[in-house]
Amino acid sequence: MAAILEAKAVKFTYPDGTQALKGVTLDIPEGKKIAVLGSNGAGKSTLFLHFNGILRPQEGDIYFAGTKLSYNHNALKKLRQHVGIVFQDPDSMLFSASVLQEISFGPLNLGLDRGQVLSRVQKAMEATGITNLKDKPTHFLSYGQKKRVAIASVLAMEPEVIIFDEPTAYLDPKSIKEIIALLETINQQDKTIVLSTHDVDIAYSWADYTYVLAQGQVIGKGKPEEVFQNASLLETADLTRPWILDVYEGLKKKGWLPVTAPVPKNKAELLELIPCKSN
Amino acid sequence: MFTIDQYAYTNRLRVIHPGEKMAFALITLLIALIAPNLVIPAIIIFLMAGITIGVARIPVRFYLKLFLVPFSFLIAGIAMIALIITTQSLAVTKGITFLGWTIGVTPASIQLAGKIFCKSLGAVSCLYFLSLTTPMTEIISVLRKLHVPALLVDLISLNYRFIFVLLSTVDDIYTAQASRLGYVSLRTSYYSLGHLAVNLFIKTYKRSRELFVALTSRGYNEELKFLEVNYPFSWLFLFLAAGLDLALISLTIISWR
């Protein structure tokens, strides 16, 4: 699978001296669901800002679709058209008091005409389930609703890659479920999704591929089944093991599951593995 | 502030084209200002109050409370106009004379004060009609259609959005301080309030940086582009508003003669 986004030996230090990225090399395969894990301050958000051309690596390079990013006006415009970021705090994204105008901002910047913009806005609102909020001012919305508006505002630009910075933070369980389902739908439309999270259970069940960041470096990568069985890696990254794997290992140890049992990806698969009680 | 905004989005005249409401409010306001006597502004006050309460269905109590806001300023202001201090004790002056100085009122000064009082309240009633029936987002979109400079309109719309962000930030900080007894005494109140102001500044600055980053990532290029919504025209409202304004204008012309 070709990589749509790549970071090669990217180093970045903030003006206050914080070394956020210390030579990060990773690639985002096209059409996949990628989870980037790491504790607070691991460098996830900084990396994401590089993928959108907001920050420029002090050393190293960013590649989009195989081409090195050149940071001139047109290259940045193209990159931002193809790579969208949904930031963690929706309040920092929403600048307009009108939901409709907020969502139309991105597509209008792409230079589309009014009709196309309207149909994209409509589609994005349907996908995120906020059509009923169209005439509401953004300051009357709840946190979860604002989050959806923020997602819709990026969806309406129809990027190929969408980066979600902690999309499930501060949300209630029902909203988390809905957001994850939405991510699934977006991915099925051949879009690449990158998401950062602390929630190991979500990352484990959802992702196709995982990167683990710690202190500005990639310290682990691989399929979630591999990454989350590596106890020392999880320890270094301050992460815990998903409960599904805990239960799976426990059942194996107590003889309820054969040693050769396949590793379950989610709750349904785990329940499927557990044999019926035989008398 | 919040309540005005809420009514603007939920009142019964919300569906009327914002341009019609703006034109009606502003033309009526102009009539109130140029009217030569106090009768016309007085009619306007009742007219606008009637429409705002009766048609847009803004609760009377809230509307009256809102009127109390400019009332106190107005009373102080017109009292100064009505009162005259003079050394010449005119026959028409009613007042107290002390050491050759007379402080009092004349029929002319009372009339002038009354005129200013009615005109001010008339103008206020027009603005209240507009702000209680028309959401700010729609007023901004009309301004944009009228080709008001983009920079100004962008500033207005960002300001409007950020008033609410700022208020909720103030609210959060205040609650966090109060829950730790930050406002338990006068001394701590001053201390907490100072920190609130400083923090607010820092947070606002941080937020504006975040917003800039988020806008840039969506292709911001020194111009906030907006999708203009077409509102349906209401001929009935236009007809009634034009009729009322024409009647007021004819009244004004008649009273000029």
Q: pLDDT tens for residues B213-255?
A: 999 999 888 778 777 777 788 888 888 989 998 999 888 888 8
State whether residue A46 sits within 8 Å of chain B by CB: no
Measured between beta carbons, the chain A residues lying within 8 angstroms of B165 are 91, 139
Top-confidence residue, B95 or B217: B217
Around Cβ B135, how many Cβ atoms within 10 Å?
Answer: 23
What's the full length of chain A, in residues? 279
Q: Is B232 on the interface with A (CB under 8 A)?
A: no
How does pLDDT run across B33-55, given as a tens digit for each residue? 998 888 899 999 999 999 999 99
Q: Tell me, what amino acid is at A97?
A: A
Total number of residues shown for chain B: 257
Strands B84-86 and A59-64: unpaired
Please tell me which of the candidates B158, B161, B219 has its beta carbon nearest to residue A106: B219
Cβ–Cβ contact A85 with B under 8 A: yes
What was the pLDDT predicted at B1? 59
Task: Render pLDDT for B61-93 as a digit per residue (tens, 0 to 9).
Answer: 999 999 898 888 899 999 888 888 777 766 666
What does the pLDDT read at residue B90?
A: 65
Of A273, A145, A265, which is closest to residue A208 (Cα–Cα)? A265
Query: Is the separation of the CB atoms in A128 and A148 below 8 Å?
Result: yes
DSSP structure class, residue A238: T
Instruction: Give chain A's residues under pLDDT 70.
Output: 1, 279
Q: What is the mean pLDDT of residues B181-188?
A: 88
Which pLDDT value is given to residue B38?
86
- Which residue bears the tokens 């999704």? A193
DSSP A86-136: E-S-HHHH---SBHHHHHHHHHHHTT--HHHHHHHHHHHHHHHT-GGGTTS
- Sorted by sequence, the CB contacts under 8 Å of residue B141 that are 6+ apart come out as B18, B226, B228, B229
Q: Cβ contact (<8 Å) for A85 and B217?
A: yes
ipTM metric = 0.81
Residues of chain A with C-beta less than 8 angstroms from the C-beta of B211: 92-93, 95
| Rounded-to-integer distance, Cα B124 and Cα B182, Å | 39
H/E stretch holding A19 = strand A19-29
Say whether pLDDT at B14 is over 90: no
Q: How confident is the model at residue B104 (pLDDT cuts 50, 70, 90)?
A: confident
Contacts of B50 (CB under 8 A, 6+ apart): none
Q: Which two tokens stand for residue B244?
A: 């009322």
pLDDT at position A34: 96
Flag if B227 and A101 touch (Cβ within 8 Å).
yes
- What's the pLDDT at B91? 61
pLDDT of residue B169: 87
CB contact under 8 A, A157 and B219: yes
The CATH number of A3-240 is 3.40.50.300
A122 interfacial to chain B (CB closer than 8 Å): no
Q: Chain B: nearest CA to A34, how far in angstroms?
A: 20
Residue of A nearest to B221 (CA): A109
Contact yes or no for A49 and B218 at CB 8 A: no
Residue B92, pLDDT score: 62
Task: Count CB atoms within 10 A of the CB of residue B106.
Answer: 18
Determine what percent of chain B is predicted with pLDDT higher than 70: 98
Which residues of chain A form CATH 3.40.50.300? 3-240
Mark yes or no for CB contact B217/A54 under 8 Å.
yes
And the tokens for A98? 């009108």
Cβ pair A108:B161 closer than 8 A: no
Nearest to A92 by CA among B161, B209, B211, B219: B211
Cβ B164–A52 below 8 Å, yes or no? no
In a 3-state reduction of DSSP, which class is residue A34? strand
Contact yes or no for A109 and B219 at CB 8 A: yes
Q: Which pLDDT value is given to residue A79?
A: 92
Q: Using an 8 Å CB-CB cutoff, list chain B residues near A158.
A: none
Residue B239 makes CB contacts below 8 A (sequence gap 6+) with none
Which residues does chain B have within 8 Å of residue A109's beta carbon, measured at their own beta carbons? 218-221, 225
**For residues B162-177, average pLDDT:** 88
> Angle at CA A6, nearest 5°, toward A5 and A10?
135
